Amino acid sequence: MRALPTAVLAVWLGVTGAVEAGDQPVVIELFTSQGCSSCPPADALLTQLADRDDVLPLALHVDYWDYIGWKDKFASPAYSARQKAYAHANGERSVYTPQMIVGGKDHVLGYRPMELAELIQAHRDVPDPVALDVAREGRELHIEARPEGESLGPLVVQLVTYAPEKTVDIERGENAGKRLTYSNVVTSWSVLGEWNGSKPLTLTTELPEDAPAAVLFQRKGHGPVVAAARVD
């Protein structure tokens, strides 16, 4: 697939910025693999989003393509399981790469920027149902949340850490000979607990590593992500 010019991507992805209903970033999960020849355009698209404040793009590398010649250096069975759980929740029987999940709800082929832009806009137009404040002190993370309307629970509170940029020389497989750069590579994903969404929540946890982090509130059963915040 031909690479799209940066200027075109900027227009398609709505960088011009209209007035929005929600202030929190829209979470975009890209399920990708270093062993997938269709994935580099999606990885590049995620990089285009990485510096924006209105979205939280996260790259989750799956391991189910490792057998075809190249073992993905960032892959985890947990990320493959997360993608499969999304598929199960949506009544789908199979998974694929590159796949983007927007807001824990909508999915799109990872290198279709116009469709992605429409989904981002749709999610940005929805008011935030949870007020979320996250502050970092060293390795300690302080989380405060309160409902903005009626109870939303139960919600799963999740902590994600990620590497802003990583470059890999691919030696074998479908992308052999390429040097690929990845953005917002997820390095850990853990569940902090559940919240009923009816009363204010105050929570303090320790970060597993000295890296950028994000907190996600998601409906049980891999439902929509209703709140998100990040800290560097």
pLDDT for the residue 151: 77
Question: What's the pLDDT tens digit per position in 8-37?
Answer: 454 445 543 443 456 899 999 999 999 999
pLDDT of 138-175, one tens digit each?
A: 999 999 999 998 878 799 999 999 999 999 999 999 99
Residue 187 has pLDDT above 80, yes or no: yes
**Domain assignment present for 2:** no
Predicted local confidence at residue 150, as pLDDT: 80
Please report whether residue 68 resides in a domain. yes
pTM (2 d.p.): 0.91
Q: Is residue 227 part of a domain?
A: yes
CA angle (154 as vertex; 149, 160 as ends), nearest 5: 100
Alpha-carbon span 81 to 52, nearest angstrom: 28
In a domain? residue 76: yes
Q: Kindly indicate the confidence band of residue 125, based on its pLDDT and cuts at 50, 70 and 90.
A: very high
pLDDT > 60? residue 58: yes
Average pLDDT, the chain: 91
Quick: pLDDT tens for 173-183.
999 999 999 99
Q: Range of 108's domain?
A: 26-231
- Judged by average pLDDT, the poorest of 11-20, 63-72, 73-82, 122-131 is 11-20
Q: According to the model, what pLDDT value does residue 21 have?
A: 57
| Amino acid letter, 61 | H
Strands 140-147 and 201-206, by their bridges, are antiparallel
How many structural domains is the chain composed of?
1
Q: DSSP secondary structure string, 139-191? A: TEEEEEEEESSS----EEEEEEEEEEEEEEE--SSTTTT-EEEEEEEEEEEEE
pLDDT value at 227 more than 80: yes
13, part of any domain: no
Percent of the chain with pLDDT over 90: 86
At residue 174, the pLDDT reads: 95
Query: Is 7 inside a domain boundary?
Result: no
Q: Does 225 reside within a domain?
A: yes
Q: Would you say residue 30 lies in a domain?
A: yes
Within 8 A by CB and 6+ apart from 90, the residues are 107
Helix (H, G, I), strand (E, B) or coil at 56: strand
